[in-house]
Structure 1
């Protein structure tokens, strides 16, 4: 069983814990935390999920990017995309508006590139936080991995994923053209 860091340690990485870049790989088909939220339930009913562009995450991203830092992620998407992936695509505008670079990559391309099916955060190409989930997509915790080879592998995964992924707006157009 991995040793998870505390929530305070996790939060530290998003404040003073990085100097230049924070990047995430999201490979899950959905997240239990999204499915249990009111916004997701509203979205499933065809209603506005009422995404708050002033929520703490967006305020933090805006402050980090205003300070010259870069925050981004690549979301691996199935074809057709799952409800969880479609929901995150729909509400992702607020993160992008705050300054986060969200990109999407088809799962078939990710498989061709030998990208792993795992979630992690990478900070300044030095600190790796492996995100752990159970079989029902419940978040269990984050493990700080300090093995140099594991961090280098995560950097290479980031570079491959980011190179082939498309920005959120372009992916929205791609998905809309398939419906």
Structure 2
């Protein structure tokens, strides 16, 4: 019996809604090109205001999970210096934190020195891992891993990442402070 299977985007979204206790993401690409982000990113690059309406479904989902006692967290691996996309995420990410998501940052050189992976994934309830697959920097689906041995490897990476990552707002203050 196989311990992994491919899950398309819509079914993956259901997994994000249905976890019981904890969902945690390891995010390590320098840029993501999600269709829903194209216009907001263009506006940010042009210095135009953003009402974050495009992000509202996610923020509402995070807030609802938090009210129910469930947690959503992520560690973002940032290039040094951060990519343009990552600089945008430093600003947008404040809304994620306000909604209840624990967002942290780990510099890429530190992630490498710790032997952390170079591919994105989610861990759900410490029981399943969703390896994220991308095509041209766009989410294309995920591969679900449920083998306890494999899941434990990802759990070790999770512990290491969380131990060394910095809260997003502290990282943002440090990066913005250096530019002044």
- TM-score calculated relative to the size of structure 1: 0.91
Q: Does 1:152 align with 2:149?
A: no
Q: Does 1:10 align with 2:16?
A: no
Residues matched between the structures, number:
176
Aligned to 1:121: 122
1:43-82 superposed matches below 5 A? 43-52=44-53, 55-82=56-83
Contact map agreement 1:40 1:49 (CA 8 A) in 2:
no
Runs of 4+ in 1 over 6 A off after TM superposition: none
Give 3-state SS (helix, strand or coil) of 2:17's partner. coil
1:60-139 superposed matches below 5 A? 60-134=61-135, 136-139=136-139
How far off its partner does 1:14 sit?
2.0
Aligned to 1:173: 173
Give 3-state SS (helix, strand or coil) of 1:121's partner. strand
- TM-score calculated relative to the size of structure 2: 0.91
Aligned to 2:30: 29
CA distance in 2: counterparts of 1:93 and 1:69, whole angstroms: 19
1:60-92 residue CA offsets vs partner (Å, 9 max, x unmatched) = 111111011111000000111001111111101
1:25-62 residue CA offsets vs partner (Å, 9 max, x unmatched) = 00000001169611100111122233239711111111
Structure 1: state its 5+ residue gaps: none
Structure 2: state its 5+ residue gaps: none
CA distance in 2: counterparts of 1:146 and 1:84, whole angstroms: 32
How far off its partner does 1:158 sit?
0.8
Q: Which has the higher helix share?
A: 2
C-alpha spacing 1:6/1:139, structure 2 compared with 1 (3 Å): closer
Give 3-state SS (helix, strand or coil) of 1:15's partner. helix
